[in-house]
Structure 1
Amino acid sequence: MSDTTPTESGPPPVVVVVGAGPGVGASVARRFAREGYAVGLVARNAERLAAMAQAVRDEHGVPAASRSADATDPAQVRRAVRELTEELGPATVLCFTPLPDVGLIRPVLQTSAEDLLASLSLSVGGAAAAVETVHPQIEARGGGSLLFTTGSGALRPHPDRAASAVTTTAVATYIELLHRALEGTPVRVGHTTIVGPIGSGPDAHHPDRVAEDLWSHHTGAADTPATVLQLPDPPVTS
């Protein structure tokens, strides 16, 4: 069973958030910190990350640290995650939630091989680098979770959004393979697909809602290994 609660006698469990942006990543950090988890943050913007880590420490009184890394570079991801877990302790949870490069999302006939490779290097290469770094630690701790967010490109592939469709299909397959390989072990795999934008308005998913869904995957409260967050249908007007 996943280690979901800190113990009185030992060090706190550790969540590592790769792709720790100001939206979902920050909400995930706060959600786990509220449960007593130490928080490790990885993204490209070192200054913003340091401020986010300080806010987690101030608000929740848990250890928090950050390392900057480009998620498209496996060596940088491995180094950042390794340094964080050396500082905070072995990982219990990995949450991989980088924002896609929207500049790469174009119609299929305008999408180059380089565009596709760049998109895949972020969502698939970065995920694999993070997983291979933390999985042995999670196993050594006796259980934990590998958590992922993706957009909905794999659900509704569209020729006008080729990189999104190809990449989310690939990473969703990778996540499914992880789930199948780890089924029956103490390591959970959770995947939250977000249909629609993320934000604070009525026509967007609030980041805290996404974080809560990921928490439910970690605790085993989610009904399935893969969940889909849909926006409510707009009201019908006469």
Structure 2
Amino acid sequence: MTTFALIGAGPGLGLAAARRFGAAGHSIALVSRSADHLDSLIAALDDDGIKAGAFPADVLDPATLTAALHTAAETLGPVEVLQYSPVPRADFMKPVLDTGAADLEDPLAFSVKGPVTCVNAVLPGMRRLGRGTLLFVNGGSAVRPHPERAGTSIAFAAESAYARMLHEALAPENIHAAQLIIPGAIRPDAEHSSPQVLAERLYSMHTERHGFRHYAEPLPD
């Protein structure tokens, strides 16, 4: 059994994606800074008959993040699918004219150093498997920068560049890197952006393995 590793596990999209990949036969590694809420997610997955484990780590701490992913692979099986979708902190979203160099340190660590750390942790295992999928989930500011959300706009753009380079560099090794852009809010009643619909979209990106950038719905004008 191989593992679906979810960075940024939460009760919305995270739980829905874990259920979808778990239903397909993957064990589930839930990685989140807060250990407290992971128990409830594990219980929900256990009720569905899905094998899952909790691996607390902060994406701003490369050492604990690497250790969590290595432990997950040792405990549950090699990571075949990595989903990087933690929710940025509110203080990353200052207006551009109020943003100084120091204000970009955590957003860039969150959206660039975090993904690089995760990929470097799971890539050797994917290469041994001979396959793998790297899924990056971002908001609309990744492709359309917002002057009131400077930190995430800059950091998401950098994450997008990194993910796009992975898409091209790893394709010959049967490792697929792809990005899902979610322009608006994730809502249970949304036609295209409910947790369940997005989870299905992510699963199809893993199985169909075509193209780099996908949109949950069109960007608003």
More helix by share: 2
Separation of aligned partners in 2, 1:142 and 1:183: 11
Separation of aligned partners in 2, 1:163 and 1:92: 31
Whether 2:41 is the aligned partner of 1:39: answer: no
Percent sequence identity over matched residues?
35
Residue in 2 aligned with 1:16? 5
1:6-59 superposed Cα distances (whole Å, 9 cap, x missing partner): xxxxxx121110111221111110110111110000001112112212221221
Q: How many residues align?
A: 220
Match of 1:92 among 62, 80, 84: 80
Task: Give the match's secondary structure for 2:104.
Answer: helix
The 1:155/1:69 distance shift into structure 2, 3 A limit, reads same
The 1:38/1:150 distance shift into structure 2, 3 A limit, reads same
Amino acid at match of 2:113: G
The 1:35/1:204 distance shift into structure 2, 3 A limit, reads closer
Residue in 2 aligned with 1:228? 215
Residue in 1 aligned with 2:102? 114
CA deviation after TM superposition for structure 1 residue 114, in Å: 2.3
TM-score scaled to structure 1, two decimals? Answer: 0.87
Separation of aligned partners in 2, 1:38 and 1:204: 26
- Structure 2: any 5+ residue segments left out of the alignment? none
Residue in 2 aligned with 1:171? 159
Whether 2:180 is the aligned partner of 1:192: answer: yes
CA deviation after TM superposition for structure 1 residue 83, in Å: 1.1
Query: What RMSD in Å do the two structures reach over aligned CA positions?
Result: 1.7
Residue in 2 aligned with 1:217? 205
CA contact (8 A) 2:19 2:50 kept: no
Residue in 2 aligned with 1:25? 14
- Structure 1: any 5+ residue segments left out of the alignment? 1-11, 234-238
TM-score scaled to structure 2, two decimals? Answer: 0.93
Separation of aligned partners in 2, 1:112 and 1:124: 18
CA contact (8 A) 1:152 1:194 kept: yes
